[in-house]
Chain A
Amino acid sequence: MSQSISAPSTGAVVVSTIPLRELAPWALFFGLLGTLVLFFVSADQGAVSIPAGTAIHEWVHDGRHLLGYPCH
């Protein structure tokens, strides 16, 4: 993969890239946060419970069913 598209003639579009070094901390932090949020909506207090109980499961119950996650 090239870093950017070379412009052989005038008028060709050059899209600059975002350096992966700059992107890495955002991607890591939000990747972890996003995964955590998806876990609490999609799976918590079903197969595993953090914390114990059913309050979170009950609260997001309809969303869990309609967004296609395993529920009961």
Chain B
Amino acid sequence: MNARAFLVRGLIAGLIAGLATFFVAHQVGEPHVDTAIALEEAGEPAAVVEEHTHSHDDGEEAHTHSHGEDAEVSRSTQRTWGLLTGSLAVGLALGGLVALVSAGLVGRIGRFLPGQTVALVSLLGFVSFALVPFLKYPSTPPAVGSGDTIGDRTALYFGFVAVSLIAAVAATYVALRLRDRIGTYGGTVVGVAGYLVVMVVAGQVFGTVNEIGDFPADVLWYFRRASLITLATMWGVLGVVLTGLVAHLYRQDTAEAERRALAASL
């Protein structure tokens, strides 16, 4: 068990998670991306309109790029090779990060075995890095979201993610410290409750983004549901595969150590 062994397994798990994410996103998510883009293109003529006489739909104004076949990267490339690139890159990055965080926590969380430690880190990662940010700033399909506000929306989103990550790390640390004094049950309850309180307050303090306009509610819901399934696939596959790989490594190491101890005693 060393840093290299964890990182290699994290990258393998990330690669598998990235492939699974691509497959699910392509099958479940892409139909709704296509619907959203078709709605966008139907709503505005192909010619670029510089003067906006009406502003009922923010999404169609100040678009800095086109989603149609005349775009720099064609739709057929975006929905296949582009999506695959993004999924694999995020999968590998998250896999490596989860593996190294787990490597630092192994043996330092109560009686958790290495595999259990990885499972906990994956679960906390999904909740703090994907699920809670999604609840505050849910993903939006193409045609929703103005190019004018991308700066503000990006700052809000990543600011909220930063608060969530810091709160999750702090809550985990507090829970582990309290565990020694008031037990596992009390430490866990205080840690989880502390994270929830911080995130509810942050959710009230951070500004709301609403640029939906008259975008159809059903397409919006289908897209967001598909987006959440995509995120759950990424973190679920990553967590399950890495947990299995690390647990296997630990069993191998333990068996090897026992063999050596037996040989030394003879």
Contacts and interface: CB of A to CB of B under 8 A. Distances in A.
A43 B158 contact: yes
Interface in B1-40: 1-4, 6-7, 21, 25, 29-30, 33
Interface stretch (B45-53, B135-143, B194-202, B214-222): B135-143
A47 B2 contact: no
A8 B247 CA distance: 24
B73 A66 contact: no
Given A47-B154, A72-B150, A67 B139 contact: yes
A70 B83 contact: no
Q: How large is the interface on B (under 10, 10 to 19, 20 to 34, 35 or more residues)?
A: 35 or more
B78 interface: yes
B154 A15 contact: no
Contacts, number: 184
A1 B174 CA distance: 11
A43 B82 CA distance: 15
A17 B6 CA distance: 13
Contacts of B77: 59
A26 B146 CA distance: 39
Interface of B is mostly: helix
Contacts of B85: 59-60, 63
B59 interface: yes
Interface string A4-35: 11000000010111101011001100110111
A30 to B, nearest CB: 5
A12 to B, nearest CB: 8
Contact of A58 (B65, B97, B228): B65
Interface in B211-260: 223, 226-228, 230-231, 234, 250
19 contacts: A3-B108, A18-B103, A18-B106, A23-B103, A27-B100, A31-B100, A47-B155, A58-B65, A59-B81, A62-B30, A62-B33, A63-B90, A66-B226, A67-B90, A68-B130, A68-B228, A70-B153, A72-B63, A72-B64
Closest 5 CB pairs of A and B: A63-B86, A17-B107, A47-B154, A68-B139, A58-B73
